[in-house]
Amino acid sequence: MASNLKSVCRYFSTSSRLLKKPNIQKPRVPWTERRILNAVSTPILPPDERPLPIRCCDEMNAKIAARETELSQAYKAFRKKQIVKMFTENKMVAICHIVPMIPRDAFSVRAKIMAAQINLCFANKKFVREYLEESKYRNLEPYIASDTVYVVSPDNKVAQLLAVLRKTPELQLLGGLVEDTIMSKEMMINFSKMPPIEVLQGELLTILTSSIATTSHLLSTQQEQLSYNLSQLTQRGVEASVETNNDEHKDIEVKET
């Protein structure tokens, strides 16, 4: 009975005065030798030079660490894995600023994006930053602030993305990652205006072949000219010799007559 009462009292009361008197006695001052021993044995630690916010958060961090369970850790690992997957498996990862909206609007925005066969991903800023710090996309870090959302696609669909985002003012394009290249908004717009890669490769091929043709032409023209001149010269020489022979024959005939 007494134990029950004790537990109930402990549950409902904020002080322990109901059961016993509080001990307000000051601790006794230890004798001199003991005090000397205490003074000598207390360690002299170097001053804590960490910034104040970190020093103050020590206790809080310890509490958070104690609160973490296996399940929560597994969930965090899963989320991190998803972020890695998002950046590695997709060719296009556009980072957008999202404004708060009512669920109905959010649904319509998602529907518009899904209609263009592009996916909308949400990720924890902290986890994304952790991943980016270690990866080669470290320069994407400034974009990851405030409310960000990721529009991803396994193929390069920048033009479709821009067409969709033009109709959705709730999402503002900031920049992104297209085919392993970090791009700003302006760069993405310019990229979308470019023709497909096959056409560009064809153009490059024509430019390369034309340059080769011109160089070969420039190299060979002088030789051709020289050979032409020489052939002309030899022809003239032959003609001249033939003419002189003819003249000699004529002279001989005249003399004979």
Partner 1 sequence: MAFAIRKATTYLIKRMHLRPVRRVKFTFDPYMKNAVSIRDVASTLHMPDILETNQGTLLKFDIKSDRSEPQMDVEFNDGHKLIFKTGHLTQLEILDYLYELVDEKDPKKSEGPEIATKSSKIGKMKGKKK
- Site residues (CB under 8 A) for partner 1? 97, 99-102, 142-143, 145-147, 169, 172-175, 184-187
Q: Is 44 helix (H, G, I), strand (E, B) or coil?
A: coil
Instruction: Pick the closer one to partner 1 by CB: 108 or 215.
Output: 108
- Based on DSSP, count helices (H) and strands (E) in the chain, helices before strands: 10, 5
Report, in Å, the least distance between residue 222 CB and partner 1.
Answer: 50
Judged by beta carbon, residue 159 or residue 189, the one nearer partner 1 is 189
Work out how close the CB of 152 gets to partner 1 at its nearest, in angstroms, rounded to a whole number.
18
Q: What is the DSSP string of 111-150?
A: HHHHHTT-EEE---HHHHHHHHHHSTTGGGGGG--SSEEE
Please enumerate in sequence order all residues whose Cβ is within 8 A of that of 153, keeping only pairs 6 or more positions apart, or say none.
90, 91, 92, 117, 118, 119, 161
CB of 200 to partner 1, least distance (A): 23
The span from the CA of 203 to the CA of 209, in Å, is 10
Tokens representing residue 202 in the block: 């064809």
Nearer to partner 1, 19 or 99 (CB): 99
Report, in Å, the least distance between residue 204 CB and partner 1: 27
Q: Minimum distance between the CB of residue 51 and partner 1, rounded to whole angstroms?
A: 13
Q: Which residues of 16-32 are buried (b: 16+ CB within 10 A; e: fewer)?
A: eeeeeeeeeeeeeeeee
Residue number, 186 or 253, with CB nearest to partner 1:
186
> What is the amino acid identity at position 247?
D
Compare residues 3 and 146 and give the one whose CB is closer to partner 1. Answer: 146
